[in-house]
Amino acid sequence: MRGIHTTASIAVAGVASAALLAVSAVPAFAVSATPKSCAQTNGRVTSIAIDGARTFIAGNFTSVTDPNGVSRPRARLAAIDTDTCAVLSWNASANAEVEALRVDGGTLYAGGTFTTINGVTRNRLAALSTSDASLLSFNPNMNRTVRALTSTGNTLFAGGDFTAVGATTRKKLAAFSLSSGDLDTGWKPAASGNVTTLTVSPNGDRVYVGGNFTSLAGSSQATYLGAVRSSDGTLDRAFLPGTPWPVISVAADSRGVYVGGGGSGGHLGIWELDGSLRRIYQTDGGVQAVVIDGDSLYGGGHFTNYCIGDTGSGSPFLCTKNLPRRKIFEIDLTTGDFTNWSPTLNSAHGVFALAIEPDTHDLWAGGDFTKVGTKTVGHLAVFP
């Protein structure tokens, strides 16, 4: 679990503690628990960006194998045919791990620990053509790791460990013009610790920021999670959830904000748009990825169980009563219940990335795992 420290677990206000979470019989979408045949990598997949007929993946791999068994050199970046899962000819290379991807228009933005892309200096943030993998002129020169990317309108937002963009101070957050590539001189909220995840609200007015910080944009009320305005970077005080554990992943829609994190064991939390708490689910390992598809909320991470009754203790953290969920789960947002969809993924660290193909509702998962049930896979699984 990257950059997460342990904090005490909390009681959940407004939830009847005696009530046990039921397992509903039907998932919100009928997603198979068996992955289809797809390209496989020889190392961790940390980010997935679906762009119509092409799906871009990133991580720490050096080769990708076609479903037909042909291995192709791919240095931490690759493109997969979204339908057939074949490896495409698009071929960019990074000299170190790529942790974040964002597609906007015909451009793929990549963030990570790398210092070169396609053999050319690009410190930790770069832009590539989605059509031919050529390196674009965008060159912000981040001084430390970029861990999260999102965009809205004409703006790209970046979060991570960095403290400078070129010669300009930026504390863990920065914004850039998508048209010119220039650093936004007015957008400069500061986080007191590393930023691990970003997402934009559906109407584009908020950027939700999650990570290991204890203050955001000058406010100690925005602990681990907060929202800043996409227009000027000021804190949106209408959303101050007071999240009690470090945040690893966040997703949002018009109904709420969905937050995966660490703490004692791990947690998945759902907050209303006004910052009030709807529900926290306790797991025995960090929830490292979240994604929404209609009434389905998927979580992935390095947990092996959901803690029924949201109780547990110890180090390593053990559930008082457990429902087995091996690195991935689904919650029906209509009922708030875990569904009976329950693939079994191996590996200690599990799932790092989740993405939904919007037309087919296929669920893409990337991480450290090499098996789903008894089926051998290489760090990438597509559940149709």
64: domain range?
39-139
Query: What's the pLDDT tens digit per position in 331-348?
Result: 999 999 999 999 999 999
Torsional sign, CA 269, 208, 248, 288: positive
52: DSSP letter: T
Domain membership of residue 342 (yes or no) is: no
Residue 369, pLDDT above cutoff 50 = yes
Phi/psi at 308 (5° precision):
-60, 130
Quick check: helix, strand or coil at residue 141?
A: coil
Residue 6, pLDDT above cutoff 80 = no
Number of domains in the chain: 1
Phi/psi at 116 (5° precision):
-140, 145
Quick check: helix, strand or coil at residue 300?
A: strand
- In this prediction, residue 29 has a pLDDT band, given cuts at 50, 70 and 90, of low
Query: What's the pLDDT tens digit per position in 131-142?
Result: 999 999 999 999
- In this prediction, residue 19 has a pLDDT band, given cuts at 50, 70 and 90, of very low
Segment 89-102 mean pLDDT: 98
Domain membership of residue 17 (yes or no) is: no
Domain membership of residue 102 (yes or no) is: yes
Look at residue 24 in the predicted model and tell me its pLDDT. 44
Over pLDDT 90: what percentage of the chain?
92
Within 8 A by CB and 6+ apart from 272, the residues are 256, 257, 278
Domain membership of residue 168 (yes or no) is: no
Per mean pLDDT, which range of 12-21, 166-175, 313-322 is the poorest?
A: 12-21
Look at residue 216 in the predicted model and tell me its pLDDT. 98
Segment 256-275 mean pLDDT: 97
Residue 57, pLDDT above cutoff 80 = yes
Q: Which of 3, 10, 6, 2 is nearest to 316 (CA)?
A: 6
| Torsion angle defined by CA atoms of residues 251, 354, 302 and 213, in that order, rounded to the nearest 10 degrees | -40
Look at residue 25 in the predicted model and tell me its pLDDT. 40
For residue 117, the domain's CATH number is 2.40.128
Query: What's the pLDDT tens digit per position in 203-231?
Result: 999 999 999 999 999 999 999 999 999 99
- Cis previous bond, 316, omega within 30: yes
Residue 3, pLDDT above cutoff 90 = no
Over pLDDT 70: what percentage of the chain?
92
Domain membership of residue 111 (yes or no) is: yes
Query: What's the pLDDT tens digit per position in 105-123?
Result: 999 999 999 999 999 999 9
Domain membership of residue 63 (yes or no) is: yes
User: Average pLDDT, whole number, for the chain?
Assistant: 92
Look at residue 54 in the predicted model and tell me its pLDDT. 98
Segment 277-306 mean pLDDT: 97
Asked if 110 and 103 touch (Cβ cutoff 8 Å), the reply is no
Look at residue 30 in the predicted model and tell me its pLDDT. 78
Domain membership of residue 88 (yes or no) is: yes
